[in-house]
């Protein structure tokens, strides 16, 4: 489940040029999983154990692992995106729920056509 409001956002994931060759074949997939480091989350927020989902005080407190919050002990984000296209070391995707400049940790294909 993606955080609300990000479904139609188009983003470019720009990899270091040395990894351009590692993207070969990604064009064969319609969707990718993107793992990214939530680098802007303050340390104090990463120590939280429970939150109100969607910051709504009318909802009961739940453990952070029962939510999609960015406030996690290891702030790793994971989202499913639609691959729009690739040009050299740049992937154009739709639905990436990360802020501009967020470091990408890994990229994994979904529904592999060759496996």
Residues, the chain: 115
The two structure tokens encoding residue 109: 């294909």
Position 1 in a domain: no
74 belongs to a structural domain? yes
Q: Which residue range(s) make up the domain with 77? A: 10-109
Q: Residue 51: inside a domain, yes or no?
A: yes
Specify the number of domains making up the chain: 1
**CATH number of the domain enclosing 84:** 2.40.30.70
pLDDT grade for 48, boundaries at 50, 70 and 90: confident
d(CA 49, CA 63): 6
Residue 70 lies in a domain: yes
45, containing H or E segment = helix 43-46
Q: What is the pLDDT of residues 12-26, one digit of tens each?
A: 999 999 999 999 999
Does residue 2 belong to any structural domain of this protein? no
In a domain, 81, yes or no: yes
The pTM score is 0.77
Q: The tokens of 49 are what?
A: 């154990």
Mean pLDDT of 71-79: 83
* pLDDT for res 34: 97
Q: Are 95 and 6 in contact (CB under 8 A)?
A: yes
Q: What angle do CA 110, 37, 87 make, to 5 degrees?
A: 55
């Amino acid at each position: 489940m993606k955080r609300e409001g990000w479904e139609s956002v188009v983003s470019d994931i720009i990899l270091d040029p040395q990894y351009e060759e590692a993207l070969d074949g990604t064009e064969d997939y319609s969707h990718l999983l993107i793992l990214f480091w939530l680098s802007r989350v303050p340390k104090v927020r990463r120590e939280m154990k429970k939150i109100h989902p969607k910051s709504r005080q009318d909802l009961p407190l739940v453990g952070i692992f029962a939510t999609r919050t960015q406030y996690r002990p290891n702030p790793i984000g994971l989202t499913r995106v639609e691959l729009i296209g690739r040009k050299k070391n740049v992937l154009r995707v739709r639905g990436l729920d990360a802020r501009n400049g967020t470091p990408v940790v890994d990229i994994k294909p979904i529904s592999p056509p060759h496996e």
